[in-house]
Each structure stands twice: as C-alpha cells, then as structure tokens.
Amino acid sequence: MKRKTVQKESKSLKTFYLYAVLVFTVIAISLFIKLIFVVQSSKYDGKHHFTLAVTKEQRVKQVIAFSPQVPALAVLTVKDQNIPYTSLAENHGIAADAQLEIRNTVSFDQDVTTTLWNATRNWNAIGTNATIIDFIRLTLLSREIISNNKVIRDITLSEKNPENNTIIARALNDPTVSSENVSIQIINASNISGAGQRLGRILTNMGANVVEVSTSHTPQAKSQLQYYGEQSYTREQIEKYLNFPASELTRQPIADIVIILGEDTRNTKKF
C-alpha cells in the first residue's frame, strides 16, 4: 500500500515539474518575442544623431540632441511657455525623432542623465513614442559624454534671429548627413505657400545639402521622392521622415534627391 502511495506521489511530482517547465518555457518564449518586438520598434540605432523633445502638458521644455559619432550632446532649454510639440517642426524647423512627455509624478531635471534615468525608472508614468531600450541606451550615452562635448543653452524659439538659427542648426546637425553631402532639390507643387521653404529649413538643420527650393506653377495631387544613385543614409532618413512614395531616376537632375510636395501634404505637421 505504501509503495503504491509513493509511486502515486512520484507521478504527481513529475506531472507538476513538467507543467512548471512548460509554463516557464511559454513565459520565456513570450518575453523573448516581446523583446524582439521592442528592439525592432526602437528609434535610436546607437550610431547616428538623435533628437529628443522633452515636453510637459505637450509644451516643449527642452530639445536634446545626441551625437554618438563624437560623442556629444546639445541641450536647448526652451524659455517660451507655450510652444506646442506639434508646432516644433512646422514653425521652428526642429524635427524630433522622439518625444518625452514628463508628467507630475516624474521629476524634470536640468541634467540629461538624471532626466532620462527618472523617465526609465518611472516608465508607466511618462508618455513617449520611443522604447525603454532607447531610453536605457540614451542614458548610458549621456553618462559617457565629457563636459567639453556638452553644449547647454537657453533659447527663446519665438524670437526669430540669426543667432537662434545658428544655435538650432549646430545642435541638430547630423554629422553623417553633413559628411555625405547629398544634394537635395525641393519642388513645392502643393499650392501651399511656404511649404517648400519650411521643409528646406528642417533638412538644412539636419545638415543636409539643400541646393534649390522652387515652386511649381502646376499643382500636383500626390507627393513623391525621386532619387538618383546609390542608397545613402541621408535618403534613408528623409524617406523615413516624409514617408513619400520613392522612385529611381534614370538620369541625374540638378540634385541627387528630388522631393516633390503635393496637395496631400496640406494637413501635415511635419513641415
């Protein structure tokens, strides 16, 4: 009788262990799949320039530009009280790669590393379109940057003057885009006044070589991007930002990349 009881208990124990292993395996696989998804959704690649806009109640408080190539960072503390995040690109020529919305439960610090670490530790209390892996990597990068390679400036974005334009352009300049020197032509066929100039300012601030901005007398319904030559990081970044249909040219026009703005950009906030 005792032998049967021991065998029964042994069998039950084996069943329990098998079940535990199965549950652990399922959890491990699901976590691994989730990790892959988070990595694929990451915005910061660890190699190229990255711009983060820090906001509170959707009003811009800081623009932080990371340059891992140097490595260096620039922190522009916005003194204006009412600059909406949605107007940053259109009105001020600043195209942020990601947004960090600071809420009351997360402290906002002038030190970049502290701000990023506070955001990472209180992940559920912030708003962002980046991933936690992005924030961990940016936190580690900010810790490595020596003080000589940090530029910290106050800026009033509502004041349009050459000094502010220079400060913004230096902060947002992507060394890779700048070194590639890919020529860009913008044709405004959107029937929207100033759209081409606004996009030109954004791309120039990125370090791009905008050689011409013109207006077409014939409006075009759909926007498009045309290119000549081999793939480049510059083209990749522009395609990602604009998300226009792209087509290859068989002959080179005046620029390596031709951006045609159509009427479908009427409601965009990207420029």
In this structure, what token pair is assigned to residue 111? 């030190």
pLDDT at 38: 52
Residue 104 near residue 56 (C-beta atoms within 8 A): no
Q: What is the DSSP string of 184-248?
A: EEEEE-SS-TTHHHHHHHHHHHHT-EEEEEEE-SS--SS-EEEE-SS--HHHHHHHHHH---EEE
- Whether 175-265 and 50-172 are alike in CATH topology: the answer is no
The amino acid occupying position 65 is: A
Q: Is 206 exposed, middle or buried (0-12, 13-18, 19+ CB in 10 A)?
A: buried
Cis peptide before 71 (omega within 30 of 0): yes
Is CATH 1.10.3720.10 correct for 175-265?
no
pLDDT of residue 151: 95
Amino acid, single-letter form, for residue 162: P
- CA 233 centroid distance within chain: 15
- CA distances (Å), origin 95, targets 65, 86, 98, 185, 198: 11, 10, 9, 19, 11
Q: Which letter does DSSP use for residue 93 in this model? A: -
CATH number of this structure's domain 50-172: 3.40.630.190
Domain ranges in the chain are 50-172, 175-265
d(CA 210, CA 208): 6
How does 242-267 read in b/e, with b if 16+ C-beta sit within 10 Å?
Answer: bebeeeeeeeeeebbbbbbbbeebee
Minimal CA–CA distance to 271: which of 91, 90, 98, 93?
90
75, β-bridge pairs:
64, 152
Give, as one character, the DSSP assignment of residue 53.
Answer: E
How far apart, in Å, are the Cα atoms of 105 and each of 89, 119, 125, 131, 143?
A: 28, 10, 7, 19, 23
Question: Which H helix or E strand runs over 60?
Answer: strand 59-67
The per-residue pLDDT for 28 is 67
For residue 65, which of 41, 82, 88 has the smallest C-alpha distance? 88
Q: pLDDT tens string for the chain (271 positions)?
A: 555 565 656 667 777 777 777 777 777 666 565 556 555 678 999 999 999 999 999 999 999 999 999 999 999 999 999 999 999 999 999 999 999 999 877 777 679 999 999 999 999 999 999 999 999 999 999 999 999 999 999 999 999 999 999 999 999 999 999 999 999 999 999 999 999 999 999 999 999 999 999 999 999 999 999 999 999 999 999 999 999 999 999 998 999 999 999 999 999 999 9
